[in-house]
Structure 1
């Protein structure tokens, strides 16, 4: 099972990120890694050790464990991958709280027994999408960053080869596209999904707060999402039942209509924008 990297579906894609160079850990992986560099249009480093690189902050690096975004230098933290088989995602699949999880409650999974089509318009590393697919729902993921998309397609491909996670990722479809343009092209037609999930990157202003390792690496590459208000408006035009927005617990709501419901967790919350009642049967 493969997850090919599609070209952005919108010629006016807002993707202007800086592409990190690509390298690999051994000669046997060179052909695959070099093909990725060519596909992305990123510099190719060949066989390298990230610990010995000091002229760029991070690289896309392929080793026996898959593709990762790896900070460089001798004291750099470990790699960031889209991981579904092991780690937090694997644990949540085996021991998660079912429809009692915060994201499941926000989507409304306790209110319906029907299988929903959920659009995750800011896929990131796919953790939220994986939770929803693990609960039996069909999830389409949009990701406009070619770097994050490459990590995500690699993680999905590895998960497709594991007997536990293969049935889950079979319910997940990945599209490389700018979400705003993709949604705006479909506005006024049939709803593109039952529920649309948004988790836009917002400016991190609390310098004293601990920032997750992946955010430290991603932010210089992909930046913030100053167009979050446009994304919310486009999602509200295209969802059938509701739009849910994941935010840091103390972050302001996205400018626009006020959410009808807020669900608070320990570090994050969901702003819920219902459009019509979910089906009860």
Structure 2
């Protein structure tokens, strides 16, 4: 590889939070595009366990883009994956409209094809489940690193014959959902047909929660995400913006024992083993 492709402006005695790198089988053109798009140093071809100058890597290998903590003994890669693994199994053997997220959105109560706006998309897992059940899903992810991971996962899934029809119902945007929802709310204000111009039928929120219980950090993606993204300190404002423009309901995913987001009390809750869904109804869902 030409040395001109590799960043040489790294601080000499300092570890940076994040860099881009690849394996021998990783896509170099994509790595260089990410370098320019995200303004991150590019380390070229490396083994993540040997990297000392960066704490974590956006790493390209034969399986696509992942987020990988650098150094020996680090947890395995985190990537947006819809074809294989947990999401692949869930797609083939999931519980349909009986799944908790589907019940929270209201898929057991209506046969209408709902438009769901996922305002905190993350790695897109819940959005993919809803799209697999027939919803049209708009995904918003403001963090550029998480957005890059999700965009890569969606692009790979679109090449799979079983996943492609699901991905067609998913649209990803790299934008702050709070700003976008506030813009829509301003556009709707005073409109005599505000219902027709609602942002979405259901708005779904899964903000990063500043939970201090170590048991909440067992998932490796949460450990990595908190390092790079931090907590969503504006979740109360996001809930208010969502309630202003949702047609039927707003759904908020929370750790099961966590308090509700500040603001109005949810109308009802659906609880699972580790998570719950706070439901804020705006009006009844259509029967069909």
> What is the TM-score of this pair, normalised by structure 1?
0.91
Partner of 2:227: 220
Whole-Å Cα distance in 2 between the matches of residues 62 and 97 of structure 1? 33
Higher mean displacement: 20-29 or 102-111: 20-29
Contact 1:19 1:42 in 2 (8 A): no
Partner of 1:280: 287
1:262 and 2:269 matched = yes
Partner of 2:182: 184
Shift of 1:27: 7.0
Where does structure 1 lack aligned partners over 5 or more consecutive residues? 1-17
Contact 2:17 2:56 in 1 (8 A): no
Partner of 2:140: 142
Q: Secondary structure at the match of 2:150?
A: helix
The CA RMSD over aligned residues, in Å, is 1.3
Partner of 2:40: 42
Shift of 1:209: 4.8
Partner of 1:92: 90
Partner of 1:6: none
User: C-alpha deviations, 1:98-155, integer Å up to 9, x for none?
Assistant: 1100001100111100100000000000000000000011000000000000000000
Q: Secondary structure at the match of 1:119?
A: strand
1:44-193 equivalences in 2 (<5 Å):
44-188=42-186, 189=188, 190-193=197-200
Partner of 1:201: 208
**Runs ≥4 residues deviating over 2 A:** 207-211
Whole-Å Cα distance in 2 between the matches of residues 27 and 210 of structure 1? 32
Equivalent residues, number: 264
Shift of 1:208: 4.9
User: C-alpha deviations, 1:206-250, integer Å up to 9, x for none?
Assistant: 135552100111111110001000000000001000000000001
> What is the TM-score of this pair, normalised by structure 2?
0.89
User: C-alpha deviations, 1:52-107, integer Å up to 9, x for none?
Assistant: 01232211000010000001112111100000000111111100001100001100
User: C-alpha deviations, 1:228-273, integer Å up to 9, x for none?
Assistant: 0000000000100000000000111000000010110010000000
Whole-Å Cα distance in 2 between the matches of residues 28 and 187 of structure 1? 43
Contact 1:115 1:136 in 2 (8 A): yes
Task: Return the index of the structure with the highest Cα Rg.
Answer: 2
Higher relative contact order (CA 8 A, sep 6+): 1
Whole-Å Cα distance in 1 between the matches of residues 76 and 173 of structure 2? 27
1:245 and 2:252 matched = yes
Whole-Å Cα distance in 1 between the matches of residues 141 and 280 of structure 2? 22
Whole-Å Cα distance in 2 between the matches of residues 122 and 151 of structure 1? 14
